[in-house]
Amino acid sequence: MPKIRAENIERHKVLTRNMLLDAAELVLSRQEYAGASLSLIADTAGIPRTTVYEYFGNKDELLVAVLEDRVPPIVDEVVAGLSDRDPAARIELIFDRLLTAFAERPSAGRVVFWVRRRLPTWGIERVDLVLAPIRDQLADALTDGIDQGVFADRELDSSVTMVFDLLMGGAEIVLASGGNADIVRSEVGLRSSLVVRGLSAR
């Protein structure tokens, strides 16, 4: 019988699942997708590989679990306390917070892009759901900017998509740089100013 790591079975299952998520996040910070095997994740967690399948059917399910468990707190930090700032400052702060977060937690950034690229439509939908609060805040900033005459009155959905794509492009560059602080500053400044100038009503 496997060793119980907690005072009861329910707590043991929660603890084991969290150990697997921690191990997966650690492996993802050091390995590319192909190298992040379930065997390596299980070894890192100190758990038999067969136990992994009691919690996740395959690596993709584990990656989605990391996405849904570890990325929402980052998203919450990105969107916190934005409403009292002017629209341009909100956009710059969203860029700064997300790119900085992915520089500091590259495993979170990597899992976002891996799930989007490697899984079918359901994976993309899960990423979109996790990142939805960021898109919503961008939409609010653009709407307020249009209402205040700061931004030109353009079709909102396409403008939000354009800004979001610029944000995610910057995130990819930051991840590829290994979280280089100079790259983070450069990408935040370049991309947020490009957005503000591109949307400007002047």
Q: pLDDT tens for residues 95-131?
A: 999 999 999 998 899 999 988 888 878 888 999 999 9
Residue 1: predicted pLDDT: 40
Residues 134 and 94: beta-carbon distance below 8 Å: yes
Residue 68: predicted pLDDT: 95
Structure tokens at 143: 């709407």
Distance CA 69, CA 96 (A): 22
Three-class SS of residue 2? coil
Residue 54: predicted pLDDT: 92
What percentage of the chain exceeds 70 in pLDDT? 96
pLDDT tens by residue, the chain, 202 residues: 456 555 678 888 889 999 999 999 899 888 888 888 999 999 999 999 999 999 999 988 999 999 999 999 999 999 999 988 999 999 999 999 999 999 999 889 999 998 888 887 888 899 999 999 999 999 999 999 999 999 999 999 999 999 999 999 999 999 999 889 999 999 999 999 999 898 887 6
Residues 92 and 188: beta-carbon distance below 8 Å: yes
**The CA-based dihedral angle spanning residues 151, 153, 155, 159, taken in that order and rounded to the nearest 10 degrees:** -10
DSSP state of 83: T
Q: pLDDT tens for residues 31-50?
A: 888 888 999 999 999 999 99
CATH match of 1-57 with 1.10.10: yes
pTM of the model: 0.88
Distance CA 44, CA 27 (A): 8
Fold (topology level) of 65-199: Tetracycline Repressor; domain 2 (1.10.357)
| Radius of gyration for the alpha carbons in the chain, expressed in angstroms and rounded | 19
Domain ranges in the chain with CATH number 1.10.357.10: 65-199
Domain ranges in the chain with CATH number 1.10.10: 1-57
Residue 149: predicted pLDDT: 92
Distance CA 95, CA 171 (A): 9
Amino acid type, 74? I
